Amino acid sequence: MTDEKKKVDYERVIKEPRVFFFILCVTFAFIVILSRPQGFVKGLDIAGGIQVIIAPDVEQGVIVPEDDMILVKDVLTARFNRYGLANIPIRLAGDLLTQNSYLVVDFPDTDRQTVANLTKQQGKFSAKINDKWVFNKTERVYTDAQRSQVGRTDGGGFMFQFGVDVDEDAGKRFKDATKDCEVIGDDLEEKCKLELFIDGKSLSNLTINAELKGRIVTSASVQGGGTTKDEALANMKNLQTILSTGALPVKLKTVALNEISPKLGEGFLMKAIMAAAVSLMGVALVVFLRYRRFRIVVPLVCTAISETIIIIGMANLIGWEISLSAIAGIIAAVGTGVDTQIIITDEMLRGEYVQAKVYGWKARLKRAFFIIFAAASTTISAMVPLAFVGLGAVKGFAITTTLGVLVGVIITRPAYIRIMENVL
Amino acid sequence: MSDNGWEAKWNNAMEYYDTNYKKLMLIPLIMLLAGFVIIYTFPVERDIDLKGGTRLEIVTVPQKDLLTIEQQLGAAIGVDVRARILSSQGSNKQLVIELGKSFAEDEQPQLIKNVETVLGVTLTDNFNIRSMDPSIGANALAGAQRAVLIAFILMGTIIFLIFKQPMISGAVMLAAFSDIVETYALMGFLGIKLSLHTIAALLMLIGYSVDSDILLTTRVVKRKEGRVVERIFSAIKTGLTMEATTLTAIFAIYFISDAIVLKEIALVMFLGISVDVLNTWIQNAGLLKWELERKEVSK
């Protein structure tokens, strides 16, 4: 180790293109982070809520076309909006390696019954009279106060009813089904009742007014009840939602249901960030113990910190989800970066580069870059296949690590080498 | 000067290594064989994201002992229950309850009520629950297996492209392979479950192992100055620094964070790096030295 205390020409170092670019990136990232707090999307792990993963309920081996799943997504989105839950993230996720399609829905704190109602009901509406099918969907569902109401029943419970319209053809079928019915008093006979079904389950059984016999009727009323007023209201709202948004093209089943407490999630985030900060300090300590020269330790640690800032900035810019695994990915990427920088530093320290300045320099640089690319490519080749697996968790880790490694190779490492050249 | 004490030890170690390196290589070999045996006798279990099931993470200090909780809850639900405590420095202890069955929306409220009764604690914002159907678990497992296979093929190709010579590439791949086998064995032995995140940790491990092998090989093969063993030991010096930094990060994550996912990733990486020390610096280095000396002799 040479004892020549080389004076570091800071100005010259900063003006070097690679170093300048690096500093530019860090500053830019800093500005992005500070000015765009909304860019940080919190993943479920941290924000909390209920996550439901839905799959088509079909036999093994049956493949549901993607278009059907897109339609499911649209119907569900409509249902959520109708019900009053706006902006529920729902995404189609596929395990590319096994070709199954799933829908991942992230609800904020909601009760499970609502979740079940909104996602599991297929919503096939049908009606029959005297064993003949007359209606198979609704054209309009009425939710206004005139045509939908809740009232008490004699038995102490509550009932609701709301109007629905059906199309012309359905109306004609109604006419055909009722024209031969006998009239008893004000209504049609016992067997000519209008039975409404949803998903095959009987909804209501209505007697038909004698006036409607043989007529084209395009409206009906759906009835139901509940033990309390709230329950009746909830049931009515649920039915109105399901009927108005239409039936799902395929039956669905829940394959995963996760509930994360926001409070716990917040705690996890804090601890993870603390762990990252302590890691950085620990690394600084180790590096100092090994090299003991500030002119090595300072650039090494500073580039590591800067790299972290750049990665976080990028995550913010592209709206990447902050999750626990993403944080782990950042720590992994920066850790790999620090290791590579240690290798480079040692390469540059070794030997009598004072004498071999010209030839040895070039060879050393070439070797340093070779090491960078080699190390980076092994990490990336491990992470890229992983990015296609699973429905979010590990994806975050894989993508963040890959991103971090790329930032390191393209931005940080070249700058670091240039800095070290001038400092050693 | 205290330096002399260290230097002398370093030099002694180096000389010992120079003469005995072939015998020393038996150690990693025995470890590898032991690894296979352990994998067979302590098979690694799959976590819920690979086989389905339910896990509850509750922030509470249980008043009853774990066995009682398992029995009472098991009786109430009719499914086998496993309970354990997860703790981290100066923070909330978590009770982790695992069940082999998945619970959908209509079944979960009852499950939660049962847990509340057994524990005597109300579950509001102090718990997480994850429940996965076996079908999605099997799907994730199939995907993970394919990803690992693709990763191996890619990494193998890159290793060949980097090192070019079959002998050296073989040594690097052997080191990575040994790392994985031995870490996997330790996972089975210690009861760490295989999950998507632990698989990710194992893949990161390969990357790390190859990094240290790149260091070793670059120093030893591409340089010509000094004796082989001197070059090996200079690489060890760098390698130990790398390990120290990585281990500090891992310890920080393991002891400070209280999320199961992060702790398990840290634990697997710790085991892997510890194992990698012997595989890289004794086995891989030994093989390199052997190969270089063979070439010397044949000149």
Query: Is the pLDDT reported for residue A319 higher than 90?
Result: no
Contact B245 A55 (CB under 8 A): no
Most confident stretch, A324-328, A361-365, B270-274: B270-274
Residue A354 predicted with pLDDT over 50: no
pLDDT band for B88, please (50, 70, 90 cuts): low
- What is the per-residue pLDDT across A52-90, written as a single tens digit (0 to 9) for each? 888 888 776 677 777 788 888 888 888 888 888 878 888
CA A117 to each of CA A122, A242, A264, B156, B277: distance values in angstroms, whole numbers, following the listed order: 9, 9, 27, 50, 55
Q: Which residue has the higher pLDDT, A220 or A273?
A: A273
Give the nearest partner residue to A328 out of B103, B139, B265, using CB atoms.
B265
Q: Please indicate whether, in this complex, the C-beta atoms of B128 and A371 are within 8 angstroms of each other.
A: no
A205 close to B (CB below 8 A)? no
**Half-sphere exposure (Cβ direction) of A342: Cα atoms closer than 13 Å:** 31
Q: Is B123 on the interface with A (CB under 8 A)?
A: no
ipTM field: 0.85
Closest partner residue to A388 (CB to CB) among B103, B147, B222 is B147
More confident residue, A303 or A136: A303
Chain segment B273-290, per-residue pLDDT in tens: 999 988 888 888 888 888
pLDDT given for residue A362 in this prediction? 66
CB-facing half-sphere around the CA of A322: CA atoms within 13 A: 23
pLDDT-derived band at A1 (thresholds 50, 70, 90) equals very low
pLDDT at A283: 92
For residue B271 the two structure tokens come to 């085991």
Distance from CA of A303 to the nearest CA of B (A): 15
Q: Is A54 on the interface with B (CB under 8 A)?
A: no
R_g of chain A, CA atoms, integer Å: 33
For the stretch B65-74, contacts whose Cβ atoms lie closer than 8 Å and that sit 24 or more positions apart, written own/partner, are B69/B95, B69/B97, B69/B118, B69/B119, B72/B118, B73/B97, B73/B114, B73/B115, B73/B118
pLDDT score recorded for residue B189 = 94
Neighboring chain A residues of B261 at a CB cutoff of 8 Å: 45, 324-325, 328, 393
| Strongest mean pLDDT among A319-323, B11-15, B240-244 | B240-244
pLDDT at site A361: 62
Question: What pLDDT does residue B266 have?
Answer: 93
Question: Chain B: nearest CA to A237, how far in angstroms?
Answer: 19
Contact A135, A113 (CB under 8 A): no
pLDDT digits 0-9 by tens, A188-232 = 888 888 888 888 788 778 888 888 888 888 888 888 888 888 888
pLDDT of the residue at B42: 92
Give chain A's mean pLDDT. Answer: 82
Best of B103, B155, B211 to disrupt the A interface by mutation (most A CBs within 10 Å)?
B211
Contacting residues of B for A117, CB less than 8 Å apart: none
**Percent of chain B at pLDDT exceeding 70:** 95
Query: Tokens in use for A390?
Result: 């699973």
CB A340 within 8 A of CB A379: no
For the cut 50, the answer to whether the pLDDT of residue A353 exceeds it is: no
**Chain A nearest-CA residue for B130:** A258
The nearest alpha carbon in chain B to A259 belongs to B129
Over residues A16-44, the pLDDT tens digits come to: 788 888 888 888 888 888 888 777 777 77
Chain segment A245-262, per-residue pLDDT in tens: 877 878 888 888 888 888
Least CB-CB distance to B248: which of A279, A371, A378? A279
pLDDT tens digits along B175-216: 989 999 999 999 999 989 999 999 999 999 988 888 888 888
- Nearest-angstrom CA–CA distance, B279 and B176: 8
Interface of B with A in 59-98 (CB under 8 A): 59, 88, 91-92
> Residue B125: which of A262, A283, A381 has the nearest Cβ?
A262
Tokens of A341: 């920088």
* Residue A162, beta-bridge partner list: A148, A222
Q: At A2, is the pLDDT very low, low, confident or very high (cuts 50, 70, 90)?
A: very low
- For B246, the closest chain A residue by CA position comes to A335
Q: Within a 10 A sphere around the Cβ of A424, how many other Cβ atoms?
A: 18
Supply the pTM of this predicted model. 0.84
Burial, A156: exposed, middle or buried (Cβ in 10 Å; 0-12, 13-18, 19+)?
Answer: exposed
3-state secondary structure chain B: CHHHHHHHHHHHHHHHHHHHHHHHCHHHHHHHHHHHHHHHHCCCCECHHHHCEEEEEEECCCCCCHHHHHHHHHHHHCCCEEEEEECCCCCCCEEEEEECCCCCCCCHHHHHHHHHHHHCCCCCCCEEEEEECHHHHHHHHHHHHHHHHHHHHHHHHHHHHHHCCHHHHHHHHHHHHHHHHHHHHHHHHHCCCECHHHHHHHHHHHHHHHHHHHHHHHHHHHCCCCCHHHHHHHHHHHHHHHHHHHHHHHHHHHHHCCCHHHHHHHHHHHHHHHHHHHHHHHHHHHHHHHHHHHHHHHC
Nearest to B125 among A261, A327, A401 (CB): A261
pLDDT, tens digit, for every residue of A154-168?
877 888 888 888 888
Phi-psi category of A370—alpha, beta or left, where left has phi over 0 and alpha has psi -120 to 50?
alpha
Q: Do A343 and B125 touch (CB under 8 A)?
A: no
Quick one: pLDDT at residue B125?
Answer: 82
**Best residue in B96, B152, B231, B261 for a mutation probing chain A (most A CBs within 10 Å):** B261
Contact A366/B at CB under 8 A: no
Residue A281 pLDDT class (50, 70, 90 cuts): very high
Bigger pLDDT: A195 or B38? B38
What confidence category does residue A359 fall into, taking pLDDT thresholds of 50, 70 and 90? low
For residue range B216-235, what is the model confidence (pLDDT) as tens digits? 887 887 667 778 888 888 88
> B112 CB near a chain A CB, below 8 Å?
no
Binary contact (A263, B218; C-beta < 8 A): no
Task: Find the helix or strand (DSSP H, E) in which A129 lies.
Answer: strand A125-129
Strand A90-95: give its sheet, edge to edge: A90-95, A100-107, A49-56, A252-260, B127-132, B53-59, B94-99, B81-86
B112-146 residue pLDDT tens: 888 888 888 888 888 899 999 888 888 888 888 88
pLDDT for A351 beyond 70: no
